[in-house]
């Protein structure tokens, strides 16, 4: 397989070839059950999309593995997206020379260290913090032997509760409240070889915002043509349009997951966020449109499902009409990210001057979520709407 070398500042140049039929067997994929549970992939197996280097180390993707180029210098590879409470799984391989780590809740920019992030160490012979320990926080109870083979971390960071499992065994279960949110980063210290694969995350602590019985907690903008209702199955359905159904609550920095089905061909809708209460089709919009040019899903029509409408098209249309799919939206500060069926399809940072409405400029203030009825052909249903607000950003 062709190697993609990821130098500092380089952009990913190829797209994910996703096959749902193979999702249960291929590395760096999710099963249908995992998608339904809310898991997302942090690494698609083919590109470094959603990651950014910090430091001298160069990173490359080859044969479903992401690794530092041996001898390229020390540095980090960090997600561009911040996360708060989650379960993280990651496979790693190190030789007997490499000293590495998986860093949790790292700062969004600048240097990453064990002083400003939680470092889950990867270095068996460390006297104080052998593999599976969190440096300066808690030592693992296990006696790790990880060199020269693949190993799996299963890490829970749920509020102040931190749990580290290594190859199925719990080695650390502690509480620590130093950090509440941040990026996830991989470390290379300049010697030996370290590899990673199967990096995936399940958000924790999301709360339902739709009861499946009625539209309690939601408000419809009056005078529009859309009809919003709850189906006998407990789905939130919208037909006809145009229209706008908004939450009563407002949200600023958050992770939002929901299941969606388009009950027609190439129907157009959207999920708005940080929108202005009572104002029609305001805010940022995560597009819903399962359409692409010809047979090429990397060429979305009208920004494509998961694209940030009028800002960044989806890099690939993952979902299809008449099939349920799961959309995950993460917003923190100017950074907006969307996954569809666990595959990251957009990664946008709003560099525009601040404005009251996200239609005119960057909006950081909390706003409502809203579901769009687009036109007379609209017929979409939504279920399992759940959201988690992020703790405040660090100073």
Task: Enumerate residues 6+ apart whose C-beta is below 8 A from 125.
Answer: none
The answer, yes or no, to whether the previous bond of 242 is cis (omega within 30 of 0) is yes
- Predicted confidence at residue 14, as pLDDT, reads 35
Cβ atoms of 48 and 61 closer than 8 Å: yes
DSSP string of 82-120? -B-SEEEEEEEEE-SS--EEEEEEE-SSS---TTTSEEE
Q: Where are the alpha helices (DSSP H) in the chain?
A: 32-37
- Predicted confidence at residue 395, as pLDDT, reads 72
C-alpha to C-alpha distance for 129 and 121, rounded to whole angstroms? 7
The stretches in the chain having pLDDT less than 50 are 1-24
- Predicted confidence at residue 202, as pLDDT, reads 98
Residue 388: which of 221, 166, 181, 78 has the closest Cα?
181
Decide: helix, strand or coil at residue 22.
Answer: helix
Torsion of CA 206, 207, 209, 211, to 10 degrees: 130
C-alpha to C-alpha distance for 91 and 166, rounded to whole angstroms? 10
Please state the pTM of the whole predicted model.
0.93
Task: Summarize pLDDT for 129-171 with one digit per residue, the tens.
Answer: 999 999 999 999 999 999 999 999 999 999 999 999 999 999 9
Q: Determine how many CB atoms are found less than 10 A away from the CB of residue 162.
A: 22
- Predicted confidence at residue 17, as pLDDT, reads 35
- Predicted confidence at residue 26, as pLDDT, reads 83
């Amino acid at each position: 397989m062709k190697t993609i070398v990821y130098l500092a500042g380089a952009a990913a140049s190829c797209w994910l070839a996703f096959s749902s039929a193979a999702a249960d067997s291929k590395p760096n994929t999710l099963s249908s059950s995992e998608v339904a549970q809310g898991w997302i992939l942090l690494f698609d197996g083919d590109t470094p999309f959603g990651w950014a280097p910090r430091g001298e180390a160069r990173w490359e993707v080859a044969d479903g593995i992401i690794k530092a180029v041996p001898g390229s210098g020390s540095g980090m590879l960090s997600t561009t997206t911040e996360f708060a409470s989650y379960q993280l799984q990651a496979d790693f391989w190190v030789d007997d020379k490499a000293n590495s780590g998986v860093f949790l809740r790292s700062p969004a920019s600048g240097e990453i260290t064990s002083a400003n992030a939680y470092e889950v160490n990867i270095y068996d012979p460390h006297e104080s913090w052998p593999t599976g320990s969190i440096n300066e926080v808690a030592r693992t109870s296990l006696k790790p032997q990880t060199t020269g083979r693949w190993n799996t971390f299963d890490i829970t960071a749920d509020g102040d509760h931190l749990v580290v499992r290594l190859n199925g065994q719990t080695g650390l279960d502690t509480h620590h409240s130093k950090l509440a949110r941040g990026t996830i980063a991989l470390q290379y210290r300049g010697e030996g070889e370290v590899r990673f694969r199967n990096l995936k995350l399940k958000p924790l602590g999301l709360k339902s915002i739709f009861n499946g019985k009625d539209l309690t907690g939601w408000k419809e903008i009056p005078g529009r043509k859309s009809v919003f209702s709850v189906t006998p199955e407990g789905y939130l359905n919208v037909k006809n349009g145009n229209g706008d159904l908004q939450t009563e609550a407002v949200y600023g920095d958050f992770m939002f997951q929901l299941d969606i089905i388009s009950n027609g061909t190439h129907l157009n809708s959207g999920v708005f966020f940080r929108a202005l209460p009572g104002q029609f089709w305001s805010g940022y919009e995560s597009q819903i449109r399962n359409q692409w040019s010809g047979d090429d899903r990397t060429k979305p029509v009208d920004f494509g499902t998961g694209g940030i409408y009028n800002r960044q098209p989806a890099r690939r249309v993952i979902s299809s009409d008449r099939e349920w799919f799961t959309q995950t939206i993460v917003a923190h500060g100017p950074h907006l990210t969307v996954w569809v069926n666990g595959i990251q399809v957009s990664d946008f940072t709003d560099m525009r001057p601040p404005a009251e409405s996200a239609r005119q400029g960057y909006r950081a203030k909390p706003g409502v979520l809203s579901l769009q009825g687009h036109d007379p052909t609209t017929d979409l249903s939504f279920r399992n709407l759940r959201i988690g607000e992020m703790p405040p950003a660090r100073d």
